[in-house]
Amino acid sequence: MAGRLTTDKIIVHCTATPGGREVSVQEIERWHRKAGYNGIGYHYVVHLDGKVEAGRDERQIGAHTVGQNHCSVGICYVGGCDANMKPKDTRTEAQKAALLKLLKELKQRYPTAKIYGHRDFARKACPSFDAKNEYKNL
């Protein structure tokens, strides 16, 4: 299991699925394996009810952001699209609270890490909100 040498980024993603549709860690893992990854690429998944579930072992290099996996932890919340599959911040109140709690915990472990959205590194709307700005004071 290859580990990161440094962790200076925490990168927030979304599943790019319609708001209100739950997605399991196993389903995300199937998507990622089909795309050629060796398992789920995210370290954590935040479900609609606020439950946080582990994905890839946090000590292992992720597979979530090209060029940034070696120095980051990847978090994905379920949702991120409207019914027409257009980008939309669909986080439930429970997801917002759980995401904030998880980010605070990760910042305690990695105090110099900065929080970003996937969109800060790729031409995508993901995570369908401005994570870098929303969490700039953490």
**Annotation marks residue 124 as catalytic:** yes
**CATH numeric code, 9-134:** 3.40.80.10
Point out the catalytic residue in the list 14, 71, 76, 126. Answer: 126
Compute CA distances 19 → 50, 90, 94, 130, whole Å: 14, 5, 13, 17
Question: pTM of the full predicted structure?
Answer: 0.95
In tens, the pLDDT along 88-108 reads 999 999 999 999 999 999 999
**Annotation marks residue 34 as catalytic:** no
Point out the catalytic residue in the list 13, 43, 47, 64. Answer: 13
- Which helix (H) or strand (E) segment is 14 a member of? strand 9-14
Cα gap 84→16, rounded to integer Å = 11
**Annotation marks residue 126 as catalytic:** yes
Point out the catalytic residue in the list 9, 42, 47, 77. Answer: 42
In tens, the pLDDT along 6-48 reads 899 999 999 999 999 999 999 999 999 999 999 999 999 999 9
Average pLDDT in the chain: 95
Point out the catalytic residue in the list 43, 47, 64, 118. Answer: 118
Q: Does residue 1 carry a pLDDT above 80? A: no
**Annotation marks residue 71 as catalytic:** no
**Annotation marks residue 47 as catalytic:** no
